[in-house]
Chain A
Amino acid sequence: MGLPLYSAHSDPGPSFFHYAEGAGLTTSPGPTDFALPHATTIIAVRYVGGVVMVGDRQATGNYIASRDVRKIEAADRYTAIAISGTAARGIEFIRMAQLSFEHYEKMTDATLSLEGKANYLSPIIQRNNLTSPLMVLPLLAGWDPSHQVGRIFEYDGAGGCYERLDFSTIGSGSPFAENTLRLGFRSDLDLEAALQLGALALYEAGDNDPSTGGPDFVRNLYPMMVTINADGFQELANDDIANRFRAINERRTQTGGLAGGTLR
């Protein structure tokens, strides 16, 4: 790779995506007819101090391809990106987003606003999804330092970006997670309540959707749980997550697999 110098009229500016596209560093979209690992449940819930995210860890093709995929990653200190859809594209998408935000920061000596990051991703999603069956649908959540709130942005297949003020779910298990969230969400959720609700919604999705991996007590593998707030992006420890899912599992055991009349 040579030194990427441009004259002023052809300069791609601080956008890594535009530079990488022009320089041929990205993969090209194209048709396919073989099964690729996909399917997911990702949940983002707003609480008074930020956003809680929960995501399953199973990659599914014709079989279970992997049980410990990370579908939620820190894009930078205050931003998380989660993916659903084709694993290969999703992982490239996360790398592109992470690098793009850092690239912008280095090129301009300024940090992109959270809204700026959300809008930046739109054309990247659109380009992928409208030119290839290898769909990727991400979810962006972060702490907005300039407005001091947690914010969630979801996307449609054509790259449309929509801010959600309550919660959002993506992936094949999202109808089940969404229903749980609709019943349990309040606008004054504190951190603990948001974590409990998020875990419960994922448990529901794992219970009903064959392509969502619920808690795996045999392998000691649990869904990812993260918080994004004024302290930045943080992952919950595996033991903490294990205890939360064990507690739900015990309650469900007592009531024959269903919630038994209360959201728990």
Chain B
Amino acid sequence: MSNYFYVAPEQLIKDRAEFAQKGIARGRSIVAAIYEVGVVMVAENPSASLNKISEIYDRIAFAGVGKYNEFDRLREAGIRWADGTGFTYSREDVDARALANYYAQHVGDMFTEGPKPLEVEILVAQLGSKFRPTKLYRIAYEGTISDETRFAVLGGDAETIKGRFAASEERLEPLATTLKNAVAALAGPDRTIPVADLEVCLLEDRGSRRTFKRLTDDELSELLR
């Protein structure tokens, strides 16, 4: 006969949160910010092929920090959900808020009921249109969803980076300015991040249906000059 030990729910949640936080803190952070005509997402990522930022749909992007295999599975599920919804209904019916809610439910379920919490924090960004506003939804490891107004920071060092980026102008600025602020906030005062270690993606209208763009190192160097 096995013995069951009582664990208070407070303790259980605290242990799980600590576990998830530790996992997330091991990776580098991501800053996403709204600029004059779009959304820019900046990740510190030494790998050129294992991406943290991805296209989900015409006007929706995904970013994830923490365990790669865990957030990549969420990214794939997001693309399937968006393409499936657009195929069943119409392209304009694919809404980032609905996707962010599904993510929040799943991440929340895994936190309380899963064998272990997901060690991830994810972002769903939406570029505004005639029908919908520009939005940044941040989903934390325990399933909390927050609607960030100007910018969002994901990752272990989020509070410090948030403080640094918040010092920049309140109003929306051109891409180059917002990008420089985001990179400076990620790096902090004592170091510079080489262009090769940055993964930068945009959501911006360029006259075609799809608005996602991954910047090349050359384009990035030009903008950061």
Q: Is the CB of A107 within 8 A of B79?
A: yes
Q: In this assembly, does A4 line the interface, its C-beta being within 8 Å of a C-beta of chain B?
A: yes
Chain B CB within 8 A of A3 CB: yes
Evaluate contact between B106 and A23: CB separation under 8 angstroms: no
Contact B83 A102 (CB under 8 A): yes
Asked if residues A106 and B77 are in contact (CB atoms below 8 Å), the reply is: no
Secondary structure of the B side of the interface?
helix
A residues in contact with B116, CB < 8 Å:
none
Which of B76, B86, B87, B105 meets A107, CB within 8 Å?
Answer: B76
When C-beta atoms are compared, the residue in chain B nearest to A16 turns out to be B83
Kindly state whether residue B225 has any CB partner on chain A within 8 Å: no
| Contact between A106 and B79, CB atoms less than 8 A apart | yes
Alpha-carbon distance A11/B80, docked complex (angstroms):
11
Q: Name which of B54, B76, B102, B105 has the most chain A CB atoms within 10 A of its CB.
A: B76
Q: Does A246 contact B (CB under 8 A)?
A: no
* Closest Cβ neighbor of B56 among chain A residues: A106
Task: Check A20 for interface membership: any CB of B closer than 8 A.
Answer: yes
Q: Which of B56-80 contact A (CB under 8 A)?
A: 56, 73-74, 76-80
B88 close to chain A: CB less than 8 A: yes
Q: How many A residues touch the partner, as a band?
A: 20 to 34
Residue in B55, B81, B105, B210 whose beta carbon sits within 8 Å of that of A4 in the complex: B81
Min CB gap B135→A, angstroms: 19
**Which residues, 91 to 123 on B, are CB-close (under 8 Å) to A?**
102-103, 105-106
Size range of the chain B interface in the assembly? 20 to 34
Q: Which residues of B contact A25 (CB under 8 A)?
A: 84, 87-88
Q: Mark A14-30, 1 if CB is under 8 A from B, else 0.
A: 00100110010100000
List residues of A (134-153) whose CB comes within 8 Å of B's CBs.
none
Would A2 and B79 count as touching, CB distance under 8 A?
Answer: no
Question: Across the two chains, which residue of chain A brings its CB closest to B55?
Answer: A106
Tell me whether B85 is interfacial, beta carbon within 8 Å: yes
Task: Select from chain B the residue with minimum beta-carbon distance to A110.
Answer: B49
**Is the C-beta of B168 less than 8 angstroms from some C-beta in chain A?**
no
Give B52 Cβ to nearest chain A Cβ, in Å: 12
- B51 an interface residue at 8 Å Cβ cutoff? yes
Determine if A5 and B79 form an interchain contact, defined as CB atoms under 8 angstroms apart: no
Determine whether the beta carbon of A20 is less than 8 Å from that of B87: yes
Residue of B nearest to A19 (CB): B80
Of all chain A residues, which has the CB nearest B78?
A3
Cα distance, A103 to B58, chains bound together (Å): 11
* Contact of A109 with B by CB under 8 A: yes
A5 touches B103 (CB 8 A): no
What's the minimum C-beta distance from A25 to chain B, rounded to whole angstroms? Answer: 6
A95-112, CB under 8 A of B: which get 1 and which 0? Answer: 110010011001101000
Q: Which residue of A lies closest to B105 (CB)?
A: A3
Q: How far is the CA of A20 from the CA of B85 in the complex (A)?
A: 10
Inter-chain contact B51/A4, CB cutoff 8 Å = no
Alpha-carbon separation in the docked complex, A241 to B88 (Å):
35
A218 within 8 A of B: no
Which residues of A are found within 8 Å of B51, using beta-carbon distances? Answer: 109
15 contacts between A and B (CB under 8 A): A1-B85, A1-B88, A3-B78, A3-B103, A3-B105, A5-B74, A11-B76, A16-B80, A16-B83, A25-B87, A95-B87, A103-B80, A106-B54, A106-B83, A109-B49
Q: Give the 6 A-B CB pairs with smallest separation, nearest first.
A: A3-B102, A4-B80, A5-B77, A106-B79, A3-B77, A106-B55
B residues at A contact (CB < 8 Å)? 49, 51, 54-56, 73-74, 76-81, 83-88, 102-103, 105-106, 210
- 14 more contacts with CB within 8 A, not counting A1-B85, A3-B103, are A1-B84, A3-B78, A3-B81, A3-B105, A3-B106, A4-B80, A5-B73, A5-B77, A5-B106, A19-B80, A19-B84, A20-B84, A106-B83, A109-B54
